[in-house]
């Protein structure tokens, strides 16, 4: 089996070393022999410029890819997954169906998609994730949390573990 690359994409207001991403990166590394990457998009305001950066980065990698994206990073990861084959997609309160994003009819060819969204999200309505999950037959977990999912660390770690294990089982 080829080496696994797990690529984290942060949201609009955060950075590549945020506490949520850092915790998830450490947990992923404890589960498997993998490379973890966290792309820095802080110099790019446009979500679609971020998509371009991620796709360019993915072309430099060898091995399987799992994308993890938070908020705007969820949009970025999903649009990238429509252009580059990935083995898993984990989306945290993804910024779907919002004004100012070029792709409104978001599609991914990935068959291993998990979405986690907070019932109390005041930035991106959870119903947007329900719509996307229904269209893609994706796993969707709604949690008693807000947009940052700061109370859901255990759930996030459990779901990334599931995605990694599913990739191992099918690899």
- pLDDT score, position 1: 62
Task: Enumerate residues 6+ apart whose C-beta is below 8 A from 154.
Answer: none
Handedness of CA 97, 101, 103, 107 (dihedral sign): negative
pLDDT for the residue 167: 77
For the chain, which domains are there?
A: 4-170 (3.40.50.1820)
Closest CA to 66 of 168, 147, 134: 168
Q: Is the dihedral of CA 140, 141, 144, 146 positive or negative?
A: negative
pLDDT recorded at residue 104: 81
Tens digits of pLDDT across the chain (171 residues) = 678 999 999 999 899 999 899 999 999 999 988 999 999 999 999 999 999 999 999 999 999 999 999 999 999 999 999 999 999 999 999 999 998 887 788 889 899 999 999 999 999 999 999 999 999 999 999 999 999 999 999 999 999 999 998 876 765
Please count the residues of the chain.
171
The residue among 130, 113, 112, 124 whose CA lies nearest residue 171 is 112
| Of 92, 94, 113, nearest in space to 162 by CA | 113
Whole-number pLDDT of residue 166: 83
Condensed to tens digits (0 to 9), the pLDDT of residues 28-47 reads: 999 988 999 999 999 999 99
- According to DSSP, the residues that pair with 88 across neighbouring strands are 66
Residue pLDDT, tens place only, 11-23: 998 999 998 999 9
The C-alpha angle 158, 162, 168, rounded to 5 degrees, equals: 145
Cα(41)–Cα(121) distance, integer angstroms = 23
What pLDDT is stored for residue 27 in this prediction?
94
Helix or strand run (H / E) with residue 169 = helix 153-170
């Amino acid at each position: 089996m080829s080496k696994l690359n797990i690529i984290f994409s942060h949201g609009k207001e955060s950075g590549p070393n945020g506490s949520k991403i850092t915790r998830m990166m450490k947990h992923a590394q404890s589960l498997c022999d993998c490379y973890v990457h966290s792309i820095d998009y802080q110099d790019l305001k446009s979500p679609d410029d971020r998509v371009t950066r991620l796709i360019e980065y993915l072309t430099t990698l060898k091995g399987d890819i799992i994308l993890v994206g938070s908020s705007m990073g969820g949009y970025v990861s999903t649009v990238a997954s429509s252009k580059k084959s990935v083995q898993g997609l984990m989306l945290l309160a993804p910024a779907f169906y919002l004004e100012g994003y070029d792709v409104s009819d978001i599609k991914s060819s990935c068959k291993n998609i998990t979405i986690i969204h907070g019932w109390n999200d005041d930035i991106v309505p959870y119903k947007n994730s329900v719509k996307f999950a229904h269209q893609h037959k994706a796993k969707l977990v709604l949690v008693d949390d807000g947009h940052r999912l700061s109370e859901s660390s255990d759930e996030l770690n459990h779901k990334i573990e599931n995605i990694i294990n599913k990739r191992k089982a099918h690899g």
